[in-house]
C-alpha cells in the first residue's frame, strides 16, 4: 500500500502490522501471532492473519485481530479478550 503526500510528488510505503490473538480452548491458553506484509505483496499480512483467524473460528475459539494496535475484527466473543473480561491473562 502506498501513501501520497499532499503535493503527490512523494510516495512512501505504508507497512501495516497485524496481530491475531486467540484462546486455545484445548489448552486453555491465550496465544498470539504477528503478521507483517511481504515485500511487494499488498495485503499479504492481512490475508495470512485472516487465514489463521478462520482456523480459530472453525474451532469456535474466541479471537480478535488488531491492525497497528487497533481492533479490526473478532469472532466467538474475542472482542472481550483484549479487555481482560474473559481471560485476564491477556497482556
How much is the pLDDT for 48? 93
Residue 5 lies in a domain: no
Reported pTM: 0.71
Residue 41 lies in a domain: yes
11-15, 33-37, 65-69, 84-88: least confident range: 84-88
The 3-class secondary structure across the chain, one letter per residue, is: CEEECCCCCCEEECCCEEEEEEEECCCCEEEEEEEECCCCCCCHHHHHHHHHHHHHHHCCCCEEEEECCEEEEEECCHHHHHHCCCCCCCC
Residue 91 lies in a domain: no
Residue 75 lies in a domain: yes
How much is the pLDDT for 18? 93
pLDDT 10s digits, 31-75: 999 999 887 777 889 999 999 999 998 998 999 999 988 888 888
Domain region containing 67: 15-83
Residue 7 lies in a domain: no
Residue 89 lies in a domain: no
Amino acid at each position: 500500500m502506498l501513501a501520497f503526500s499532499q503535493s503527490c510528488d512523494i510516495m512512501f510505503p505504508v507497512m501495516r502490522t497485524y496481530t491475531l490473538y486467540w484462546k486455545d480452548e484445548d489448552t486453555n491458553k491465550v496465544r498470539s501471532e504477528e503478521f507483517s506484509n511481504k515485500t511487494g505483496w499488498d495485503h499479504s499480512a492481512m490475508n495470512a492473519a485472516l487465514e489463521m483467524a478462520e482456523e480459530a473460528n472453525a474451532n469456535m475459539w474466541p479471537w480478535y485481530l488488531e491492525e497497528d494496535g487497533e481492533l479490526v475484527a473478532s469472532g466467538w466473543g474475542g472482542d472481550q479478550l483484549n479487555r481482560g473480561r474473559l481471560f485476564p491473562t491477556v497482556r
